Structure 1
């Protein structure tokens, strides 16, 4: 990913994701038209091999695109679409144009397919669902939808009656972990959103004046913003780790570590940002709520903080203690981007 390509993508997003346009797409208005404009840029096929019409980038190369989409406030599941198209291309299924979400079906005794709290589900055209060792490509329009907790007009829990409603199905590769994919995608989006929240907070305290001077000059405000910046920067490094690798699929442990770090940071960043802005921060006059709601939604979807921490703890305690490995060895050997 060159700087010129990233700059071109960010400039296009700036024009397509104004605060008003984001509000409209969050409400389901003009969302398809916005997606068509995004898809026409060509970045949604970034991970598809060049011989199949894509760019053939790795997940690591595509990370700046995912973060840029989160920073711009794009309502659609952009990162999920990019990864889903690569998965479908690897399975021999050409897919162009439509917005795709990715989800894991909940374990059930019957044949119904239920996916809880899928970010951007109501803005997606199809959902790629991991179900009983298969990938199912299911039309979102055929699902019974329950509005999501954080973005009720953009996200939802979905219910299909059976796998017979799938328009395409294929065996799931052992390396294609849907939860890991969502963790990596959500962490990248969270990192971008936190960078935007940080920029909004800095701009606000520089403009807002009290007792004849900008409130950014008060030591207490500087302390709060320092903590916010620390958390946002740590999240960016963590999210980058989740997308580390030469292929287009994340490693589950790295993705869990990335999501856990970003989720922990998101809670503090959102709280500090709203404290800095005061009462105006929760009004429609500012776009801050658009981003903080998204942060809280991502925290709760895919692998939660508890899920990610449990996965990392289980992996730590499952290692061969006879080899004398300790926590630092686990981090060095299992969570290093270049390790096998």
Structure 2
């Protein structure tokens, strides 16, 4: 079922996310029209219960959709919207087709709400913010926006004056905003890395030097082997982050997924640009669209340091409290069965 879902979604994205479409949406052009076309496909309600008009899928079943969105280069926060709609549906909130980013609020003095470096935040219509044990549904139009570092016209740091501007407020309960972001971003990163791998393999097969394709040189084969290894392990890690019967990811699994994808992303981006040479940084190729995404996802929400700290703290507490060894911790806490 998941394979057929991904295939259907990928076929639709192939026409809606060409390189030119992605470039235009990244610059803010036709972004709403592109989102409306994608939302009309119905995949954005994948985690919403059937009785509320959704597909009622589990997070495990929805993972291929997140992977496909990352592979297609979709500029909008697709996975975040899927998560947000499921969370909001639990309160009976009915959406109107909005694109919804998800982000944690950073600690600041006073009543202001600040979400730093929100991927796709400038393209979203609303932002579901995790703030002081609550979910706040904030309208992006009322936020003071600072352009993002890697995608200045697609992403942004957002600031609201206070929680009184929220469209909806509700207790977060057991939902963890960091886990949601980690799972969503890891899946997007894994998808982007598979696309980068395909682009790199295609380039070295076409590029000729000394009368033969550069893919025949052993040094190039070695680099591509490392890239493939990293991209494959990132996909496995991202799938682990979405291993859940319900709609919310397990915090430790999501942190593991994001950490693995972050570690892989730096090597994948470096190898891909080395393989492509100088042409890789030009606008003529779409490579930069994907490597910029990788670096943006690495820097936002659950960073490598934050994820590693979460896992280290969990191991330390269990180790000192119950004498659990690291291999037992990984087997019992960082496996799909643990979810």
**Cα distance in 2 between the residues matched to 1:108 and 1:25:** 32
In the alignment, what sits opposite 2:73?
Answer: 73
TM-fit CA distance, 1:107: 1.2
**Cα distance in 2 between the residues matched to 1:146 and 1:322:** 44
In the alignment, what sits opposite 1:34?
Answer: 34
Q: State whether structure 2 residue 168 is matched by structure 1 residue 158.
A: no
**Cα distance in 2 between the residues matched to 1:57 and 1:276:** 39
3-state secondary structure, aligned to 1:273:
helix
TM-fit CA distance, 1:282: 0.2
**Cα distance in 2 between the residues matched to 1:145 and 1:109:** 19
In the alignment, what sits opposite 2:271?
Answer: 272
In the alignment, what sits opposite 2:307?
Answer: 308
**Cα distance in 1 between the residues matched to 2:198 and 2:330:** 32
3-state secondary structure, aligned to 1:170:
strand
**Cα distance in 2 between the residues matched to 1:107 and 1:263:** 24
In the alignment, what sits opposite 1:144?
Answer: 144
Size of the aligned set, in residue pairs, is 339
**Cα distance in 2 between the residues matched to 1:322 and 1:142:** 47
In the alignment, what sits opposite 2:252?
Answer: 253
Deviation by residue 1:156-202 (Cα, 9 ceiling, x = unmatched): 0000000111111111112x111110000000000000000000000
TM-fit CA distance, 1:254: 0.3
In the alignment, what sits opposite 1:210?
Answer: 209
Deviation by residue 1:51-94 (Cα, 9 ceiling, x = unmatched): 00000001110000000000000000000000000000012211
**Cα distance in 1 between the residues matched to 2:103 and 2:137:** 10
TM-fit CA distance, 1:3: 2.7
3-state secondary structure, aligned to 1:127:
strand
Q: In terms of mean alpha carbon deviation, does 300-309 or 1-10 score higher?
A: 1-10
Structure 2: gaps of 5 or more residues: none
3-state secondary structure, aligned to 1:188:
helix
**Cα distance in 2 between the residues matched to 1:121 and 1:270:** 23
TM-fit CA distance, 1:151: 0.2
Distance 1:322 1:133, change over 3 A: closer
Q: In terms of mean alpha carbon deviation, does 102-111 or 309-318 score higher?
A: 102-111
**Cα distance in 2 between the residues matched to 1:200 and 1:67:** 16
In the alignment, what sits opposite 1:238?
Answer: 237
3-state secondary structure, aligned to 2:127:
strand
Distance 1:84 1:272, change over 3 A: same
TM-fit CA distance, 1:4: 2.6
* Root-mean-square deviation (Å): 0.9
Relative to the length of structure 1, the TM-score reads 0.98
Q: Could you list the runs of 4 or more consecutive aligned residues of structure 1 that deviate by over 6 angstroms after TM superposition? A: none
Contact 2:197 2:231 in 1 (8 A): yes
**Cα distance in 1 between the residues matched to 2:135 and 2:2:** 32
TM-fit CA distance, 1:320: 4.8
Distance 1:88 1:322, change over 3 A: closer
